[in-house]
Structure 1
Amino acid sequence: MKNVRTVAVFGVLIVLALALGLFTRTDAPDSPVPTVENTGPQGARALYLYLREGGKAVDTRLTPLEGLASTTRTVVLAAPQGRPVTEDEVQELERFVRGGGTLVYLSTREMGKHQPALEEWLALESGVLLPASGRGLDSSLTDVGGSTVDVWLPVGPLHGLSHLRVSQDRGLRMVHDDAVPVAGLGGAVAVWRRAMDSGEVYVLAGADLAENRRLEMLDNLRFWDALAARGPLSFDEYHHEPAPPPPFARGIWVFVAQVLAVGLLYTVSRGTRFGAPRPLRVERHRSALEYVRSMGWLMRRAKVEKELLPELDQALRQQMQERLGIPLALSDADAARLLEQDGGIPASSYLEAKADLERTQAQPSVTPADYARVARGYAHLERALAGRDAA
């Protein structure tokens, strides 16, 4: 009786602990990393999708900055903090810029902590704080903690721009004789430009111009439009990922193997014997062919509902949005055009499948053969979209 009472008390305590844990659980905070996959306020997903859906040549780089393609015109490093840029990568960036490329470095706020090699090459130092300014914002827009900076020298992608919206944080200093401050406010500089042979480097204080929360403010978006108009633009995502941990030393693996061997020996020596093994009981199960016949009989008796047909198209459009970023609200013609442009699947394949679906749905009744024909067409499109079949 005493044991039952003890178990009951502990059970009640465990239930209360679980209830309190579920009640106090909160959602994870938004990620501050400005990657093209981050949809939070400080991410750059909106910028990437805007450029790609606008027909611009834009991609992401998941490998080190070595051997940059000659077709790439602009490389964007958006405040990377996961991995440091190495000396070899700095030399490759310098070769790329001097060969006519454009480097846009959105600097981290903490100097000398995350990118020492890159900051040494660019000779970057922390500047003074930007003063608060709300000039140019509509009354409907609120940007607490932001500041409006002026474009002092409208060169390159800043041509025709007048104001940029950034965070009210520290500016930058670029200690190079040929470095020119091109945007800022008061004595604080937010954007620097340095020409190097036939290329140029733009250094911005923080990743504010690429963030989702400030992308549409003032002339921020026009800055990226001008950069993308120059040619293929590549976002560096490799240096946002943390470096893999170092491999275990051989001595640690030897120690682990010894512990496992000793544990296995102890288990074998102290394990309980359950007697000689009994012969296995042979059980006869139904054959797979009987199951197939039963399933076929059920499908012959089943009736196909018309409501199943729109589900085929809805499932395909959902995959088109997840894999290629084609919005569900687009018309069939526009979606087919983007499917051919981004996925390499002829637009006629999707339009013919959709027309067959609509004709079948307009019939008084849908036979299993009709449904199988339509489903087969959509299945081919799904396989082609996944890269497992030709369109």
Structure 2
Amino acid sequence: MKKYRIQILLGFVFLAGLLITFATVKEPENFSNSSYNSDPKGTKAFYLLLENTNQKVSRFQEKPYYLKGKRGSLLLINPGRSFSKEEAKTIKVWVDAGSTLVYFNDGLLQNKTDNLLSEFNVSVERFSKKPDNPELTPVLFNNEVKRLEAKAPLYFKSGSKGPTLDPVLVLEQNSVMVSFTSGKGTVYLSSAAGLMINSNIERSDNAIFLYNFILDLQGPVYFEEYHNGFESSLDPFTELKRSLSVRLLFLQLLLAGVLFLYQRGRRKRPAVTLDKSGKRSVIEYVISMGNLFMSAKASLLVLNLLRKNFKAEISSYFRKTNILDTGLLDAVKKRAPVKNTRIMYYLTDSNFLQVTNIQLIKYAREMEELKREVKINDRIKNKNR
């Protein structure tokens, strides 16, 4: 009887673990960064958008060492942490081997000792006065710096043995995008992250350029998975694995397996489990294996349900902007990676994302007109009835 009490107790603990899992694993809200919140906006939304194009996207796990031996483009937009010297060196070696680094960071002045820039022998400096020809100089203005430093401009400076900086584009808010070669690879630097993700840039030609530039990068495109919590939307299974309640759930499964093996190998067997030949009853094996199987099955079922729930939440954000209804999302997925396609991606405070193009807008309008005609026809039919 004592054995059954333990099994009943373990059963209650297992059910409690399931309930805790359902109650605690959810979408993180109110991130510290102002461009993050409960809806997918800012960098989080942009990465979601990137994953829904035909671009191959891979997230590296916490440390850049995952990139060793791989080739592609590393996208860092306002990274949520500073890189150590060892990590910066790993990224530089990776770029020198023939890859591309895109580094957009709004807080370059606050972090002048950026290990990543230092590894490439590039620094951020401040002019004493505004240059006469900012279009010809790799000048970098930062919105926050403009408020704190009375519009004193910043600029990228190369060390004595550093690379040659080439201005790529003069952006709104007097920001620029610069590039330089490192080994066989290329690095793009800018403080345009805020320009891309924090404001409505519907009429911004520079933003169109930036988004098309990123979408046309040589793939696969890598970006950091653990970025201020957005990974729960992009990869819910990873978040579940990091959840304490899920760890407890798997610990219970492990304990159930240990108990099963212990019962199987016991020398002292209760009389009720012995058959006429003196061997352990097959029924006990079936019950033990059944309990273990159902525990594993229940855990996988919970994880799958939660995973589907996350996917459903992500899909609901797309539906908020009628992208699925108008077919725009499908059009984005099927888009050929042709340069200068003039497809514009922009994020606003009120919408998750919008995807506009002359042909796509025309298609969307046709869909809206078709919907109106259907509604009118339905009303006429209802009146006739």
Q: Which has the larger radius of gyration?
A: 1
**Structure with the largest fraction of helix:** 2
Taking structure 2 as the reference length, the TM-score comes to 0.42
Higher normalized contact order (CA 8 Å, seq sep 6+, divided by chain length): 2
